[in-house]
Chains A and B, each alone.
Chain A
Amino acid sequence: MKNLKLLWNYMNENKIKYLLSIISTALAVALALTVPLILQVVIDYILVGKEVQGNIFVEKLFGFLGGTTYLIDNLWLTGLLVIVITAVQGIFLYYKGKLSAEASEDVAKNLRERLYNHIQHLTYAYHKNADTGDLIQRSTSDIETIRRFLSVQMVEVGRAVFMVGISLYVMINLNVKMTLIAMATTPVLFVFSYMYFKVVQKSFKISDESEAELSTVIQENLNGVRVVKAFGREKFEIEKFREKNNQYKVKTYKVIMNLAYYWSISDLLTIVQIALVVVASIYYANQGLITLGTAVVFINYIFRIIWPIKQLGRILADLGKALVSTERIQEILDEEREVEKPVEIKPEIHGEIEFKNVSFEYPDDKNHKVLENVSFKVKKGETIAIVGKTGSGKSSLVHLLPRLYDVEKGEILIDGHNINTIQKKWLRKNVGIVLQEPFLYSTTIQENISFQNESNIKDVHDAARIASVHHVVEEFDQGYDTVIGEKGVTLSGGQKQRIAIARTIINNYPILIFDDSLSAVDTETDIAIRKALGERKKDVTTFIISHRISSIYDADKIIVMEKGKIKEMGKHEDLIQKEGIYKRIYDIQNVKEFEVEVERRESDGN
């Protein structure tokens, strides 16, 4: 019930259109059911020649058309009436389709936009833990389920209800007993359809799942094609594929067989029902209880109402899906957005930073201290390197700066302002961060680099040069107009990172953060990028997280993190003098070995 109400709310201003569509449906159905009545009138009153008296409606109609005798000679008039009624019915049918499409498409549009916007404004923490596949599923197929429900199923239900209702009314007026016979098996048909589709829904799901499994096998085979080839595992892969391909065949065939049972059984019932009506018509007409025309109406109606009744059962069995979808979408909409406080400042940002006793834990895991009492100061234009194991808190530390997370204990000051008082969007426009696994949009490289602000080509090229990716882009056939992603070129991890760097540095942020964003770039390029950056961005306060000693040894300050605490802090030269974490990493990376080599060469030379 709650979900129905949600659905109702999603419709907002479209409710009237929707109502009009349903009214059109009712009118169209009513007119469609009039045609057999005309046939009845023609047969009974004109051709058979039954007395018109006693039937006010027919009397008036005939009076209008020129009387019985006139009509016998001018039967084309009744034909014309059929055409006119059908045409008018057509107009209502048209509006039924048009209005319901307009209403439901608008609902879908609003829902999509609302969801998209909402998702973008959910917190960083939410996205970090989000199951993207599930979110995409909800945003696409669940909305589609709702749209289908509104545009097709609801209207169909309406049509079926009017069809049964109006024809029942007409039939009862014609003959009650015949009506009972005509409706004899329809409840059975309805219940059968409903139950059947409830029960077989599982087989649909199983078929979908086996199709997904089949896709996964193909996808993994394509992604790992080098491994498959190098290991000579083609046969193995073919066998794996055949198994899944066969499973899909068998399971989907089960669905088809289910449909075969359904349609044959329901068709059997349908024809039996028709036979009942035909035979009863013979019986009652011979008794003189109904006229020939009435018999024709009953036979005609039974053909018309049986299909909607079957559909009704099927749709109602499906109805649950729309309600479940509504719930699944509402779950996302109920997630909290990033909080924006009413009074937030937008100060000019220079790049002086201070961490004062900052402690931090993730909102979803309060017991685990990610940062503990972190304090340090950074002067404008300094380069700060942060090293430490995975999970030591180094990424979290830099994520606090653009307020991807909010600090609750301790404070972070930028140019003396507590960052919690600075507007988030403003802050993010001043603190550039290149994430570890940067995301590129599936558009051109040019547009990706100038994503935040429209930039001219020269700036884009400059930024790309600094990020050491200009020459790579130039080699593509379409240069900067090359589209990235599924529809265009696939970039290597290193190329992606470099484009992400270009996209960030183009904006001249006073504060820049590289969150291990050079990990997939080779050492030489790494050096080249840092050199170019150093030349251009003298006044920029820069944070670098890296595993490579070679990327950070010349930083103004190196911070070594362990378990959320600052363990060591200082310059490279000082840190390697101490027996500590930094020195150990330094040794592992074989740097020492290299120095020995150099030393040996020097002494050899002398």
Chain B
Amino acid sequence: MEIKEKDYDKKLDLKTWKRLFKYLFRYKYTTIGLIIFMISLALADAVLPQMTRIAIDDFIIPNTTEGLDVFILKFVGLAVWFSSNVFAFIAIAGRIEMELTYDIREEAFDKLQKLSLSYYDKTQNGWIMARMTSDIRRLGEVISWGIVDVVWGTTMMLIISIFMLVSNWRLALYTLAVIPILIIVSIYFQRIILKAYRIVRKINSKITGSFSEGISGAKTTKTLVAEEKNLNNFKELTGDMKTHSIRAAVFSAMFLPIVLSLSSIGIALILWKGGEGVVAGSVTYGVLVLFISYATQFFEPVREVARVLAQFQQAQASAERVLSLIDIDPDVKDGKEILDIYGDILEPKKENWEPIEGNISFEDVTFYYNEKERILENFNLEVKKGQTIALVGETGSGKSTIVNLICRFYEPVDGKIKIDGIDYKKRSINWLHENIGYVLQSPHLFSGTIKENLMYGKLDATDEEVVEAAKIVNAHDFIMELPNKYETQVGEGGGKLSTGEKQLISFGRAIIRNPSIFVLDEATSSIDTETERKIQSALERILKDRTSFIIAHRLSTIVNADRILVISKGKIIEEGNHNQLIRKKGYYYNLYSNQFKKENLEKSII
């Protein structure tokens, strides 16, 4: 499942950008304000060299200071006009950038919360992370500052052209003659420069990856004596990096000289023709100097506009990927009429929620991801309130699917699952999930305190409830030994706790909500003997009076189940309690007697 992404060389697709620019409608007036300030700033930029012209033509040449006070006032006014415009545009464009980023991110995150597990099973977390962080940040930047540069650049080019044409159209045409070439060269170079740096960034992220691998894997590398090999691979990357970085730098280094030389042609023409004009008396000294300033100034807006266009082209891929995330429709969702009664994720109408008893039945349930490989076919199961059901079987037998269906992470393709006699699609997903206690193999904790993690199960839990839950799962003792007790920070992903401790907390957060349905999804397979003993003694208390489903490899976890279902290829092949199944001497018996060679056991019993 290699994800190949073409990040550049995409044609600008207006439809994509139109959708993104629609976000700007939310801050319509701010955006219009920004445009006005940019036009005004461009005007100020173009007026500045005019001051020199006035100084020469109105004061130096006639050798007078008459009106100098007004001139100075005008200059001060210009300074204030200029700097207040600068302040306004940065403040406004920054506001737009932040609002835009915030809004797109929020919409994407809301969508992520609504998407079903099927999406997450297919999509790498890293992919989603990249969309949520760098892609969205880049869109915010490109759109807001893109407006700034494009409006400023085009206005500036326009005003300078007008100013020149008005003061001397002949001379203006000489200057403007070079502009088309300047534009073409700029667009061409900005594109290849951005492209070259894009490659550099890609290699750079590979180098980061390589460093991270070299550091996290250093211990393994030692045991494999692979230091040389790794270094050689790494050197290939750094070599690439050097070559491409220099390449990109060389492109940039070429751009400025070429552009400068081009504008110098304009300057030369003005010096020549303008100079002749001065001699002939048709051009003033002030105008000559003004034109030379403009010719020098012209290339900046050209470069800016060319750069922004190239950036938009580069951001095309980001835009498409972010929109693709926002556009996805969840596989499992509530219908409108259900939402009307039960409320949605953000506004659940809990007053309409029926209490849950815990009777669960599968009626002719069929499930598959693709039609050729059916995982469950006409599967039937009847579970009474309060029963503990253990599911046993090989990987891929369908036992995880059964649990996923019960939790409504997935829905049956055919057939019905009823809870308390009613098809669970007739109630909201949220209603079901609020009543489930779920513990899985890898106990994902969230940054925050132990207390906060326990309260994840019941957001309004009191301190007493938190402690009680911790006591039930035998976590209280170890928590009290920690420096800050229940207020101890668990670190990112719970990293500051051991796996066993994390698992105890994850049991605690499931039990605190006093769920009617309890699911243990291989919850005991990767913990040490010590923790297992603690959980073992808590399990009886945990499972009492709840409908429970247990997937487990360890015998100890399932011997006490009311019913053990042995699943193979989507079918129940054996069923009964532990004693019954052992006596049956079937699959279940073999599964566990394999753990010990029989003769060895007999030997030890004797």
**In the complex, per-residue mask of B568-606: 1 if CB is within 8 Å of any chain A CB, else 0:** 000000000011001101000101111111101101110
Some 18 contacts from A to B, beta carbons below 8 A apart, are A87-B264, A94-B254, A113-B238, A117-B231, A127-B215, A227-B444, A230-B436, A231-B433, A231-B509, A232-B432, A245-B106, A264-B90, A271-B75, A271-B78, A438-B220, A452-B225, A487-B2, A594-B596
Binds A, one of B204-212, B361-369, B480-488: B204-212
Report the bound CA distance from A539 to B416 in whole Å.
57
Given known pairs A120-B221, A235-B348, A275-B79, the reply for A260 and B275 (CB within 8 Å) is no
Decide if A271 touches B48 in the complex (CB within 8 Å): yes
Chain B residues with Cβ below 8 Å from A184 are: none
Chain B residues with Cβ below 8 Å from A487 are: 2-3, 126
Chain A residues with Cβ below 8 Å from B126 are: 486-487
Given known pairs A224-B446, A272-B76, the reply for A232 and B433 (CB within 8 Å) is yes
Chain A residues with Cβ below 8 Å from B94 are: 253, 256-257, 259-260
Closest to A116 in B: B234
Given known pairs A78-B272, A598-B593, the reply for A404 and B254 (CB within 8 Å) is no
Chain B residues with Cβ below 8 Å from A522 are: 395, 525, 553
Chain A residues with Cβ below 8 Å from B589 are: 601
Assess whether A188 is interfacial by the CB under 8 Å rule: no
Binds A, one of B15-23, B128-136, B308-316, B378-386: B128-136
Interface residues of B in 416-453 (CB under 8 A from A): 429-430, 432-434, 436, 438, 440, 442, 444-447
Q: How far is the CB of B97 from chain A (nearest CB, A)?
A: 7
Closest to A526 in B: B595
Chain B residues with Cβ below 8 Å from A283 are: 65
Determine the main DSSP class of B at the interface with A.
Answer: helix
**Among A96, A120, A225, A493, contact of B117 (Cβ-Cβ < 8 Å):** A225
Decide if A90 touches B258 in the complex (CB within 8 Å): yes
Most buried by A among B55, B72, B493, B583: B55
Assess whether B245 is interfacial by the CB under 8 Å rule: yes
Report the bound CA distance from A486 to B267 in whole Å.
55
Chain A residues with Cβ below 8 Å from B8 are: none
Assess whether B265 is interfacial by the CB under 8 Å rule: yes
Closest to B68 in A: A282
Chain A residues with Cβ below 8 Å from B352 are: none
Decide if B253 touches A238 in the complex (CB within 8 Å): no
Assess whether B181 is interfacial by the CB under 8 Å rule: no
Q: How far is the CB of B466 from chain A (nearest CB, A)?
A: 16
**Among B75, B257, B267, contact of A279 (Cβ-Cβ < 8 Å):** B75
Determine the main DSSP class of A at the interface with B.
Answer: helix
Decide if B76 touches A275 in the complex (CB within 8 Å): yes
Interface residues of B in 247-295 (CB under 8 A from A): 249-250, 252-254, 256-258, 260-261, 263-265, 267-269, 271-273, 275-276, 278-279, 285, 288-289, 292
Interface residues of A in 218-235 (CB under 8 A from B): 218-235
Q: How far is the CB of A78 from chain B (nearest CB, A)?
A: 5
Closest to A271 in B: B79
Assess whether A47 is interfacial by the CB under 8 Å rule: yes
Binds A, one of B25-33, B81-89, B182-190: B81-89
Assess whether A409 is interfacial by the CB under 8 Å rule: no
Report the bound CA distance from A224 to B493 in whole Å.
9
Closest to B230 in A: A120
Q: How far is the CB of B593 from chain A (nearest CB, A)?
A: 7
Decide if A97 touches B261 in the complex (CB within 8 Å): no
Assess whether B120 is interfacial by the CB under 8 Å rule: yes
Q: How far is the CB of A495 from chain B (nearest CB, A)?
A: 10
Interface residues of B in 346-360 (CB under 8 A from A): 346, 348
**Among A151, A281, A524, contact of B60 (Cβ-Cβ < 8 Å):** A281
Chain B residues with Cβ below 8 Å from A265 are: 83
Chain B residues with Cβ below 8 Å from A95 are: 253
Binds B, one of A3-11, A164-172, A583-591: A583-591
Given known pairs A97-B249, A112-B207, A486-B126, the reply for A230 and B55 (CB within 8 Å) is no
Binds A, one of B149-157, B317-325, B527-535, B542-550: B527-535
Given known pairs A230-B407, A452-B225, A585-B529, the reply for A590 and B559 (CB within 8 Å) is yes
Decide if A268 touches B60 in the complex (CB within 8 Å): no
Chain B residues with Cβ below 8 Å from A177 are: none
Chain A residues with Cβ below 8 Å from B52 are: 278, 296, 299
**In the complex, per-residue mask of A270-287: 1 if CB is within 8 Å of any chain B CB, else 0:** 011011001101110110
Decide if A595 touches B601 in the complex (CB within 8 Å): yes
**Among B76, B98, B438, contact of A226 (Cβ-Cβ < 8 Å):** B438
Given known pairs A232-B434, A553-B596, the reply for A264 and B84 (CB within 8 Å) is yes
Chain B residues with Cβ below 8 Å from A121 are: 227
Assess whether B468 is interfacial by the CB under 8 Å rule: no
Binds B, one of A194-202, A414-422, A428-436: A428-436
**In the complex, per-residue mask of A372-407: 1 if CB is within 8 Å of any chain B CB, else 0:** 000000000000000001100000000000101000
Report the bound CA distance from A550 to B267 in whole Å.
88
Assess whether B370 is interfacial by the CB under 8 Å rule: no
Decide if A72 touches B95 in the complex (CB within 8 Å): no
Q: How far is the CB of B244 from chain A (nearest CB, A)?
A: 9
Interface residues of A in 523-544 (CB under 8 A from B): 523-524, 527
Closest to A77 in B: B272
Chain B residues with Cβ below 8 Å from A442 are: 209, 213
Assess whether B217 is interfacial by the CB under 8 Å rule: yes
Report the bound CA distance from A70 to B223 in whole Å.
83
Decide if B345 touches A235 in the complex (CB within 8 Å): yes
Interface residues of A in 555-606 (CB under 8 A from B): 572-573, 576, 585, 588-591, 593-595, 597-601, 604
Chain A residues with Cβ below 8 Å from B456 are: 227, 231, 233, 236
Q: How far is the CB of A587 from chain B (nearest CB, A)?
A: 10
Closest to B209 in A: A442
Decide if A601 touches B253 in the complex (CB within 8 Å): no
**Among A106, A136, A432, contact of B215 (Cβ-Cβ < 8 Å):** A136
Given known pairs A87-B261, A231-B438, the reply for A97 and B250 (CB within 8 Å) is yes
Report the bound CA distance from A272 to B529 in whole Å.
77
**Among B278, B440, B578, contact of A47 (Cβ-Cβ < 8 Å):** B278
Decide if A83 touches B83 in the complex (CB within 8 Å): no
Binds A, one of B108-116, B165-173, B470-478: B108-116
Decide if A119 touches B241 in the complex (CB within 8 Å): no
Report the bound CA distance from A26 to B80 in whole Å.
35
Report the bound CA distance from A268 to B75 in whole Å.
11
Decide if B79 touches A220 in the complex (CB within 8 Å): no
Report the bound CA distance from A550 to B48 in whole Å.
86
Report the bound CA distance from A404 to B203 in whole Å.
33
Chain A residues with Cβ below 8 Å from B509 are: 231
Q: How far is the CB of B454 from chain A (nearest CB, A)?
A: 12
Decide if B213 touches A234 in the complex (CB within 8 Å): no
Report the bound CA distance from A215 to B125 in whole Å.
12
Decide if A267 touches B83 in the complex (CB within 8 Å): yes
Assess whether A502 is interfacial by the CB under 8 Å rule: no
Interface residues of B in 189-242 (CB under 8 A from A): 204, 207-227, 229-231, 234-235, 238-239, 241-242
Decide if B582 touches A75 in the complex (CB within 8 Å): no
Decide if B585 touches A601 in the complex (CB within 8 Å): yes
Assess whether B101 is interfacial by the CB under 8 Å rule: yes
Chain B residues with Cβ below 8 Å from A478 are: 2
Report the bound CA distance from A489 to B2 in whole Å.
8
Q: How far is the CB of B585 from chain A (nearest CB, A)?
A: 7
Assess whether B462 is interfacial by the CB under 8 Å rule: no
Kindly list 5 other residue pairs between chains A and B, CB separation below 8 angstroms, not including A230-B440, A230-B519.
A79-B268, A86-B264, A98-B250, A136-B208, A482-B1
Chain A residues with Cβ below 8 Å from B539 are: none
